Amino acid sequence: MTSGVSATAAANRDGAAAARHLARWLALAATPTFAIMAGVTAVAGSGSADMLCSAGYASALGGMVPMYLLMSAFHAAAWLRLIAERRRAPPPE
């Protein structure tokens, strides 16, 4: 029979592994989500939110579409890591 301490440690390890797995999937979901949001915002046109975000700024990066594109680019690291892992893995037999 297992002691309470070892059962708790095993449950903590399983919970940590599940949290890491969920975090990995959330990281992979961020890039396409922000890219889709940029596309929808660009198609829908500039609205009041776009005016609020770029009010008073003369930057070329002002507005919601560039912000979503930058967020998509910053979150692309998870996809680059996945591609690198797949290239390193031996081919299935």
The predicted-structure confidence for 70-82, as pLDDT tens digits, reads as follows 999 999 999 999 8
Could you tell me how many helices (H) and strands (E) the chain has, helices first? 4, 0
Please state the three-class secondary structure of 41-57 as a single string. Answer: HHHHCCCHHHHHHHCCC
pLDDT of 60 > 70? The answer is no
pLDDT attached to residue 90:
78
- Residue carrying the six token digits 């299935």: 92
Question: Residues 14-19: what's their mean pLDDT?
Answer: 86
Computed over every residue of the chain, the mean pLDDT equals 79
Helix (H, G, I), strand (E, B) or coil at 39: helix
- Residue carrying the six token digits 């929808």: 40
Longest dimension (CA), the chain: 69
